[in-house]
Amino acid sequence: MVGIFSLVTGWPGQSGYGSASTAEQVTAGIDASNLTAVITGGASGIGAETARVFALRGAHVIIAARNMELANEAKKLILSSNQTARVDAMKLDLSSLKSVRSFADNFIATGLPLNILINNAGVMFCPYQLSADGVEMQFATNHLGHFYLTNLLLDKMKKTAKETGIEGRIVNLSSVAHLHTYDEGIQFDGISDQTRYNDKKAYGQSKLANILHANELSRRLQEEGANITVNSVHPGIIMTNLMRHSFLLMKVLKIFTYIFWKNVPQGAATTCYVALHPSLKGTMGKYYIDCNEMKPSIFARDEKLAKKLWDFSELLVKSAQ
């Protein structure tokens, strides 16, 4: 009930921020000029706002996006209000593991450090379709592409953290939708089975996978003693391009649930808070809503399920190569 009260009223939680806080507010006074960040899906919606605020705080931002026209427009928009901003746009299609590999190779070839990785991009409630690698599209884009990308960039992040002494941070964008998934949590035996496909549950499954991925990666990095944290966030309910497959449904829903909806600057706040705020130094494997730690579902806290998903994801990546 406290969560709903805070969401409706915008009342700040323990962190001092709440649902009404914006990305600019939660990063006020933070100097990110010594940081380089990759933001997937940084060309539109909350990804673009995250990129803008990161650049505003001085970070070197890499907008990783499928639509390069939109990515370059987002870059221009940032530069129009912030001429000293350091922003680059690079091609990344998360539904294609070949594209993910190409992006990682291209980024590493730049010789840039990497302090922050924001796994933000995603698709939502799309009709059944398979990715270029033959995997159900929501699972492929929202989880598998980010899983592979993170693994490919991890050595660069470890090297950066070691050389600079600055803690690296990875943020996975999940959703409260992770609560609405298939009965077994993750359909390992039918991940791409069309006969069992439900667009809402498939989305929830992919968002559950985002949290499980963050938790298992946290465990591995802690074991290794790497100076990198991994956490997951629910940005809030925001009308963005992500809703394009269910626009009418969401418009109707918004009429009855308008008090729960956020605008884009509010939607990017939790990501920016978890990625940049000094108070979260050393915080790992946590889930945040409205810039405050919350407890995710029982499935999301299942360590065995997280390990099983990791092994399953590795096999999927290998079989696609």
| Architecture of the 2-320 domain | 3-Layer(aba) Sandwich (3.40)
pTM of the model: 0.92
- The SS3 call for residue 33 is coil
Active-site residue 197, yes or no? yes
pLDDT tens track for 250-276: 455 444 444 456 899 999 999 999 999
Q: Are 25 and 10 in contact (CB under 8 A)?
A: no
For residue range 73-103, list pLDDT tens digits in order: 999 999 999 999 999 999 999 999 999 999 9
205-239 confidence digits (pLDDT tens)? 999 999 999 999 999 999 999 999 999 999 987 65
HEC string for 90-150: EECCCCCHHHHHHHHHHHHHCCCCCCEEEECCCCCCCCCCECCCCCEHHHHHHHHHHHHHH
114 neighbors 36 (Cβ within 8 angstroms): yes
Contact 181, 299 (CB under 8 A): yes
Task: Tell me how far CA of residue 273 lies from CA of 111, 242, 293, in angstroms.
Answer: 27, 22, 11
**Taking a C-beta distance cutoff of 8 angstroms, is the pair 76, 102 a contact?**
no
Q: How confident is the model at residue 243 (pLDDT cuts 50, 70, 90)?
A: very low
Q: Which among 17, 148, 182, 197 is annotated as catalytic?
A: 197
Tokens of residue 249, six digits: 């449904």
Tokens 């399953």, residue located: 312
Domain residues of the chain, as ranges?
Answer: 2-320
Residues 51, 31: Cα–Cα separation, whole Å: 15
